[in-house]
Structure 1
């Protein structure tokens, strides 16, 4: 807290020194003036809690100084105690109080009386400082809440817009296919619907990821990886969006292999987000570049474009959550404003930094990731590979029990299973699932978590308690996909945890593994 200032005004130096000696204390700043003019200068330069003014002074006397103080907005509320050499008569006291005095002190001054009066004004000013500080803090909090509320409203509006973007063509595609499922262009419509569904899932995954990182719930699975492999994976993931906009992509990789201690999946996600960002903010037919080089003991991964650029005032804000450049909204392909925030957080978890550079609007952008290099890994010991001529296990149809209270979803899973060549039976709550399993004797159980009555964890534990199903593969399928959800599923006895929507290829691969496992000799 800043010091409290008192102003001492007296034309005699010895009187000022005497007052200073009597009033000196911690947290008190004493300003001294030997004339009314000098006092006015100090008052205009400083916040003063109390003015102790001698009445009899050459030039401006104490009363005249007080009257001038009352006429100025800055000084009109400063408390004044007049110091007088004799007993002030009624007329003089009246003039003093009229000029704004709060009290009179007679010379010679009684130290205890002076200190007690000064302490009152010192404490009052301290209280005013505290109240002002609390007021400023409350105003700052109110402003922060107002800003947070504004950003929340903007985010929810953007979220609704971005979710509708892929949902609209999905809806239209379904309407067309319902009328004419095998008509001209039906294959293109299905491809379009698949792309839009992938986009929708990616939006939700990004939103969940940034929440997990913010809460410290993402754990990197670091390994010694080659930078080029991560870059190639990112390009593969972003290629549809780049090609869709007709961009030319150039890749510049060093001849030598560069190694990092990193999570391959997360690093690929970071680079893919930057590539997607470049594709969105570059007009059709633009140029996008990816380059990798070394700078000292760091690997530098740069993603550049010749797009619409970043205004100077936004360069420091683009990595903030839910931030988008306003001028870009009508030309970009949308987004939630979380991609770059996620990039920064994931790069920081790898011990690196990311920066944005742009010469301004219309000049394109460059995003550079800097990550610490790792040493070259030791050569791997040769491992005997299985013979190429070894016969593959013959696939056999599986009996799959699908348990989900969403009847439409359960039916569509059943259709997928039939497409894979498997059989299925449906159940829509835990009790019916247990009953159905006893007569159906499934090879695999796909079990939803959020079931009415018994939830999926309880149902799985009930299956494991029965001798018939203690070794049956049970796969959780749920919208809950965080680490703690997977751990909870494992504790309940699930063999695998699948996050909805489950991709056809992922489910087919799991069931193929079950088929191969059951076909292997004991």
Structure 2
């Protein structure tokens, strides 16, 4: 359906406007009735002139007459092309008609106007208006298409420029890659040459076997000297009998696996074996590298034996020193009793019993260090054990004017021996309290770290000298005046029996012990 066009009917008499509306009544027209030149000018100022097909203008009107109104309309650029028809019943002289054409009208009709004539003229101007509007639309569409074409051309030009740039970059990239390939080939040749020199002159026994049938492709001089086998194995699949220290399954690639191998002479030696898959002339091969550690193991065994003897000597000296004191006291009393210089009184008996108990405690603590000591481990909550010891530790702290805080988080159950863990916690807490001055703070905390539960015991003491840190946990080593040197050693032994580790950090602001317990596999699944 065609869009309605507007027709402005301007007459100061209302009945004339009704007559024009009646003559031009049509669904294609929208008749806008105005009664003065001022109304026409106001209407054109606020409304777009595009939909206005024609203006029917009365000449004689109060205020601004028709001629003056048309002159003002034509001064506005957007309204210059609107066709205007003068309608008058008074100004019928040729001078008025010429004046009408002069000011800008395109027709001049006298009232009473013949309806059909007016209708035909208006229809003609409406068609002309629609034709001009269609031309404008086509012109705008053409301009739009022209802009789109220009934009497309610009994009094509940019794309062409980008393509040229990309082609240039591609050519540069090809040149660079070609140069890199040449360099890589040269480096590969040098690398192969270096590998060959390294293979031949390496002090480590090395062999290359084909991966397809495991036949020997090459062996170096060190391999020949170490195994006793020479060129006779090249091309064969005769494997040197090796016994790994742990099952290897079908693994081809291993690193530093300890193996025992039999030499051609029948002697057995030990080596660290590593393997790697390499390419030689487009063929997959297995490179074997062995490090003979037979002599190193012999030296290590001898050093370990000497270290054990030295440790036994130190422990024997410590035990002798600690037990000799109570034994000396008891021997002295017994000599006095034998010589009759003292009577056997209850207070002397009590002293001797206390000295015997002291010696027995030292022996008991020493036995606690045994690695093969039987433990009764079961699922326990570490926090529950700490909470059961909390009153005892708090009481000890209050008696010495110090403070203890417990920072415990939810932790999974661990496999623990309740009595041994109690002893470990008490020993470390008492050590921490003894190391601090009055007013110091001791902190006992637990938290989770990956697959471990961490027990942290921190004090605010003077710290442990750096030269003593490496000696911690050694039996009979102590910095206390009256200590046996077995407390921390027992803690380390308990930790070892629980497959736990102890880390120590110490400075002038205090010492922190961190005991790391492994979380059982069944507990990890529910964390």
**RCO greater where, 1 or 2, for CA within 8 Å and sep 6 or more?**
1
TM over 0.5: no
TM tier relative to shorter chain: 0.3 to 0.5
TM-score by length of 1: 0.36
For the pair shown, the structure with the greater C-alpha radius of gyration is 2
